[in-house]
Amino acid sequence: MKLTRDARFSTICIHGGQEPDPATGAIITPIYQTSTYVQDELGRHKGFEYARTQNPTRSAVEANLAAIEGGKAGFAFASGMAAINAVATLLEAGDHVVVTDNTYGGTYRLFEQILTRYGLTFSWVDTSRPELIAGAMRPETKMVFVETPTNPVLRLTDIAKAAEIARARGAWLVVDNTFASPALQRPLELGADIVVHSTTKYLNGHSDGVGGIIVVARDEDAERVRFVQNAAGAILGPFDSWLVLRGTKTLPLRMERHSANAQALAGFLASHPKVSRVIYPGLPDHPQHELARRQMRGFGGMLSFELASFEAARAVLNRVRLMALAESLGGVETLICHPATMTHASVPAERRAAIGISDSLVRISVGVEDVADLEDDLRQAIG
């Protein structure tokens, strides 16, 4: 199965990095559930020695995601946080990182509560304003780490501008592309050096596996990440790799439906008298709607909205029937959550307030159900 150089995105998702199994011709890469490989003779083997270092199912998902993100190589990890932690090992004590002030709470916890103990320093800035990124750069800044759109207030960073600023200082631009997915946004094309994902979300897409991926644009970064992946060992297992591979085949279809459903729900919420604010990049009143149109090929499946009070938010969260009250996002089923006490509980209250995560903010990961059923559920829950 040879992909031509000009194969389009949906074709790459299905065929990128995929070959029929060499042993049987199976069209789907098998789950190579093994820890080791028998060698032909001393010093001669088939390219596989030990499964932390090489596993064909993991290699298949890594090649697939490298193709989907348009990178040189991909490396699959046991979780999104393991992938982000591995990216951070490119740094050395004394290095400084400029980070989006509104990243996933777990990224904040990893950077501030663990990595600062190893001599790294972090400046948390509103990267939706490029001048603030530029202003935060120091001689020892080695990385700019951006999440766009952010979770849960859906602020966007102009990736091309961030790349320009990072490149001028010889720093890596790393983009956490979990929220948009490569179906909507390909940061390497816009000048980023490294993309990370929690594959737990849209790439897997079916809420049945935890994982992470790093895709790099350059060979020298590939060498470093490959070394860290093997040396530190936080690899993605074969079955979870297989689940992500199953997921990426339908990524473009799912993202189209996620985006259409979210756009419709955002419109419904915006006209609801009990909803004081709707945050969705596809709404013309989103402060970065124009950037979203330029930088993304669809506005995604995540939206947030505010009610009058925490009590009102609590009532909606407890009354929904079809939507599931749960953390996480990006699966086919719709999830609803309360960022202040769930996904962002590890972020101090004053930082949450500064970012705009109020106690009355509700986040929805809009699934691919019939949108009329989702609207009915919200209507009865809001009352």
Min dist CB 226 to ligand PLP, Å, is: 20
Which residue in 200, 229, 261, 365 binds ligand PLP (CB under 6 A)? 200
Helices vs. strands in the chain: H and E counts, helices first: 13, 12
Quick one: 148 or 288, whose CB is closer to ligand PLP? 148
Quick one: 69 or 377, whose CB is closer to ligand PLP? 69
Quick one: 75 or 179, whose CB is closer to ligand PLP? 179
Which residue in 112, 158, 176, 193 binds ligand PLP (CB under 6 A)? 176
Q: Bridge-partner residues for 175, per DSSP?
A: 146, 195
Helix ranges, 214-363 (H): 219-232, 238-248, 251-270, 289-295, 310-319, 349-355
Min dist CB 178 to ligand PLP, Å, is: 4
Helix ranges, the chain (H): 9-15, 56-69, 80-88, 105-109, 130-136, 159-168, 219-232, 238-248, 251-270, 289-295, 310-319, 349-355, 371-382
Instruction: Read off φ and ψ for residue 99, nearest 5 degrees.
Output: -125, 145
> Considering the rule CB under 6 A, would residue 59 count as an interface residue with ligand PLP?
no
Which residue in 79, 128, 181, 358 binds ligand PLP (CB under 6 A)? 79
- The radius of gyration of the chain's CA atoms, rounded to the nearest angstrom, is 21
Catalytic residue among 32, 58, 95, 104, which? Answer: 104
Which residue in 112, 147, 193, 306 binds ligand PLP (CB under 6 A)? 147
Q: How many residues bind ligand PLP (CB under 6 A)?
A: 14
Which residue in 159, 203, 210, 213 binds ligand PLP (CB under 6 A)? 210
Residue 201 falls in the annotated catalytic set: yes
Residue 176 falls in the annotated catalytic set: yes
Q: Give residue 219's identity as a one-letter amino acid code.
A: D
Min dist CB 142 to ligand PLP, Å, is: 20
Q: Is 91 exposed, middle or buried (0-12, 13-18, 19+ CB in 10 A)?
A: middle
Quick one: 244 or 278, whose CB is closer to ligand PLP? 244
Sign of the torsion formed by the C-alpha atoms of 241, 192, 111 and 85: positive
Which residue in 104, 172, 202, 299 binds ligand PLP (CB under 6 A)? 104
Catalytic residue among 101, 176, 240, 377, which? Answer: 176
Q: Which stretch binds ligand PLP (CB under 6 A): 9-17, 79-87, 132-140, 153-161?
A: 79-87
x-or-dash string of contact with ligand PLP, 324-353, rule CB under 6 A: ------------------------------
Residue nearest to ligand PLP (CB): 80
Q: Which stretch binds ligand PLP (CB under 6 A): 57-65, 77-85, 300-308, 360-368?
A: 77-85
- Those residues whose C-beta lies under 8 Å from the C-beta of residue 73, and which sit 6 or more positions away, are 62, 66, 215, 216, 219, 222, 225, 226
Residue 142 falls in the annotated catalytic set: no
CA 103 to CA 300: how far, in whole Å? Answer: 17
Q: Is 187 exposed, middle or buried (0-12, 13-18, 19+ CB in 10 A)?
A: buried
- Those residues whose C-beta lies under 8 Å from the C-beta of residue 174, and which sit 6 or more positions away, are 87, 143, 144, 145, 146, 192, 193, 194, 195, 196
Residue 2 falls in the annotated catalytic set: no
Min dist CB 177 to ligand PLP, Å, is: 9
The residues of the shown chain that bind ligand PLP, judged by CB under 6 A, are 79-81, 104, 106, 147, 151, 176, 178-179, 198, 200, 210, 212
User: Among all residues, which ones are annotated catalytic?
Assistant: 52, 104, 176, 201
